[in-house]
Amino acid sequence: MTELTPERSRRGSWRGLRRTLVLGLAGSLASAGLVALTGPSAHAADTLGAAAAAKGKYFGTALSTSHLGESQYAATADAEFNMVTPENEMKWDATEPNRGQFNFSGGDTIFNHATSHGMKVRGHTLVWHSQLPGWVSGISSGSELTQVMDNHITNVMSHYKGKIYAWDVVNEAFQDGSSGARRSSPFQDKIGNSFIEHAFQTARSVDSSAKLCYNDYNIDGVNAKSNAVYNMVKDFKSRGVPIDCVGFQGHFNSQSPVPSDFQSNLQRFVDLGVSVQITELDIAGSGTSQADNYAKVVNACLAISKCDGITVWGVTDKYSWRSGDTPLLFDGNYQKKQAYTSVLNALNG
């Protein structure tokens, strides 16, 4: 008995015949100009969100309620992105402006806009020294401030329980420069080092479905500050303090360029057992150099399977928090910049 080689079996089978017929038919239709021969796998995605999704990642933007009423702003965001971070609306001064009085109107506006357009939401941010109401900084007792912090985390996270992809639980708790020390803040100064792990523990107990991130800037390459964050994450992992991700804000300019060790720095965090996310990306500049820097960041994330995704800090240059740097992907008229094309090509690459 002759054994069928894979080749013979394929040629001899009905499946093979059907395939030949189908391909033949498709070929004739294509030459008649009726169908394109490129299948879905060969088709490059034409939005940032779709291109990132094809690589198992998300591509997000910060959104602000101040501009949602502008049709091009909303239309650009809705078309291109699949993750949203409220730019200011979930910060402490917005959600608990007075002690015990919670206000979710801005946060809900962003949340509802995002989810009704198929986008997920990153929660930003629960514990941060900035955009913090005066009544919080005015509390002098550490134990009282701990209670206030717990109450804030509990109320905000409960309101969005089960609906947030990831929370920036603590934002910017470390100093810049060579000290590797914690930044002075009401939380650090009155509660002490333990405020961060306490915040993460409380966060986990309120909503176990959200990824819990520590988020900071100037930690993109290996330096004293990123070493300090690295050591904290390592310590948390060794003691079972819940932490799932580290957010790298990624605010770049000529003084603080995309470092050459960006990817290896992300990787060392992943090796500790957390995922990494680029959470507030914007890169000062224009033209080819800006486009190349954007591609560097995207390629670093693509190279790391546990880089969950990238969020740019705004839709259009004209509403960027540093609009003078023209750091985003769309110009003030919502035209795609060279940086946009570079990001899309990198995602499709």
The residue among 92 and 195 lying less far from ligand XIL, judged by its C-beta, is: 92
- Taking CB under 6 A as the criterion, the residue among 171, 226, 290, 342 binding ligand XIL is 171
CA dihedral 60, 263, 171, 239 (to 10 degrees): 120
Site for ligand XIL contains 317 (CB under 6 A): no
The residue among 240 and 324 lying less far from ligand XIL, judged by its C-beta, is: 324
Q: How far is the CB of 185 from ligand XIL (least distance, A)?
A: 14
The mark string for 28-67 relative to ligand XIL (x by CB under 6 A, - otherwise) is: ----------------------------------------
- Taking CB under 6 A as the criterion, the residue among 188, 249, 265, 290 binding ligand XIL is 249
The residue among 61 and 265 lying less far from ligand XIL, judged by its C-beta, is: 61
- Gap between the Cα atoms of 341 and 5, Å rounded: 47
Site for ligand XIL contains 311 (CB under 6 A): no
Q: How far is the CB of 321 from ligand XIL (least distance, A)?
A: 3
The mark string for 181-220 relative to ligand XIL (x by CB under 6 A, - otherwise) is: ----------------------------------------
- Cis amide prior to 202 (ω within 30 degrees): no
Instruction: Count interface residues toward ligand XIL (CB under 6 A).
Output: 6
Site for ligand XIL contains 89 (CB under 6 A): no
Does residue 125 contact residue 88 with C-beta atoms inside 8 Å? Answer: no
Cα 292 to its chain centre, rounded Å, is 20
The residue among 48 and 328 lying less far from ligand XIL, judged by its C-beta, is: 328
Catalytically active residues, by annotation: 172, 280
- Taking CB under 6 A as the criterion, the residue among 280, 282, 308, 325 binding ligand XIL is 280
Half-sphere exposure of 109 (CA within 13 A, CB side): 17
The residue among 321 and 334 lying less far from ligand XIL, judged by its C-beta, is: 321
Site for ligand XIL contains 88 (CB under 6 A): yes
- Gap between the Cα atoms of 62 and 119, Å rounded: 12
The residue among 5 and 255 lying less far from ligand XIL, judged by its C-beta, is: 255
- Taking CB under 6 A as the criterion, the residue among 87, 96, 207, 308 binding ligand XIL is 87
Site for ligand XIL contains 321 (CB under 6 A): yes
Binding footprint of ligand XIL on the chain (CB under 6 A):
87-88, 171, 249, 280, 321
